[in-house]
């Protein structure tokens, strides 16, 4: 038994990206943000995602420069880290998630916050010039903003696309109101797949 469907992976990508470019209204986006948005749309199957995408003017350029300089990708969730395609990274960059570090649970209790927020303190100086990818927890994004405001090293760019019903909208609005270079999807939508797709698009322009 066999079904009729496209079997060639490269051709599936080509057709998918062509369909997205035909259906999505990318006219209001700078070229580099549009290229990233196409891949985010690919990850969620919804061309209307474009209306919720917001960015600081230099975010894609800054994040690309950072990756080409060897900066790590710091992720709030294992799924985000798992979704970053290693062969797209220009310098075999480290992709780091400290959520399952043995120190994280104790630190969370001590700080009175979520494990996700506590895990970010284990990034230490690696935050300096890093590409931060937050695709799961609003608490992580809020806490990153607090850490930077309180003197932590500044990342090169923050891809802040947590998903959900409690704090997601507000945390992304707070990032967009900060002085960090940012890419967000406003509203409740987001998540690890869209976030990893954004990192993958920034890492390489290859479609």
Query: Count H helices, E strands: the chain?
Result: 9, 6
Number of residues near a copy of itself (by CB under 8 A) = 53
Q: Which residues from 84-123 bind a copy of itself, rule CB under 8 A?
A: 112-117
Residue of 7, 42, 68, 121 marked active site = 42
Q: How far apart are CA 151 and CA 137, in angstroms?
A: 22
145 near a copy of itself, rule: CB under 8 A: yes
Cβ proximity to a copy of itself, 44 vs 61, nearer residue: 44
Please tell me whether residue 183 adopts helix, strand or coil conformation.
strand
163 near a copy of itself, rule: CB under 8 A: yes
Q: How far apart are CA 29 and CA 53, in angstroms?
A: 9
Please tell me whether residue 69 adopts helix, strand or coil conformation.
coil
2 near a copy of itself, rule: CB under 8 A: yes
The pattern of x and - marking residues 20 through 59 that bind a copy of itself according to CB under 8 A reads: x---------------------xxxxx-------------
Q: Which stretch binds a copy of itself (CB under 8 A): 54-62, 87-95, 119-127, 162-170?
A: 162-170
Q: How far apart are CA 114 and CA 99, in angstroms?
A: 10
| Side-chain-side CA neighbours of residue 63 (13 Å) | 31
DSSP 134-191: E-S-HHHHHHHHHHHHTTPPPPSEEEE---SSSSHHHHHHHHHTSSS-EEEE-SS---
Q: Please list the active-site residues.
A: 42
Using CB under 8 A as the criterion, which residues of the chain lie in contact with a copy of itself when the complex forms? 1-3, 5-9, 12, 15-16, 19-20, 42-46, 78-79, 81-83, 112-117, 138-139, 142, 145-146, 149-150, 163-168, 170-171, 174, 187-193, 196
């Amino acid at each position: 038994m066999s079904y009729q469907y496209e079997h060639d992976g490269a051709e599936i990508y080509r057709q998918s990206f062509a369909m997205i470019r035909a259906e999505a209204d990318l006219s209001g986006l700078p070229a580099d943000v549009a290229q990233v948005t196409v891949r985010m749309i690919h990850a969620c199957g919804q061309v209307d995602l474009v209306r919720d995408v917001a960015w600081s003017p230099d975010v894609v350029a800054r994040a690309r420069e950072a990756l080409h300089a060897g900066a790590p990708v710091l992720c709030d969730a294992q799924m985000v880290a798992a979704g970053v395609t290693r062969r797209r990274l220009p310098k075999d960059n480290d992709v780091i998630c400290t959520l399952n570090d043995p120190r994280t649970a104790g630190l969370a209790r001590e700080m009175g916050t979520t494990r996700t927020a506590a895990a970010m303190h284990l990034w230490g100086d690696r935050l300096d010039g890093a590409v931060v990818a937050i695709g799961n927890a609003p608490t992580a994004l809020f806490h990153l903003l607090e850490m930077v405001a309180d003197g932590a090293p500044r990342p090169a760019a923050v891809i802040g696309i947590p998903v959900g019903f409690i704090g997601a909208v507000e945390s992304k609005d707070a990032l967009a109101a900060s002085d960090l270079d940012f890419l967000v999807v406003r509203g409740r939508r987001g998540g690890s797949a869209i976030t990893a797709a954004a990192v993958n698009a920034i890492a390489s322009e290859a479609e």
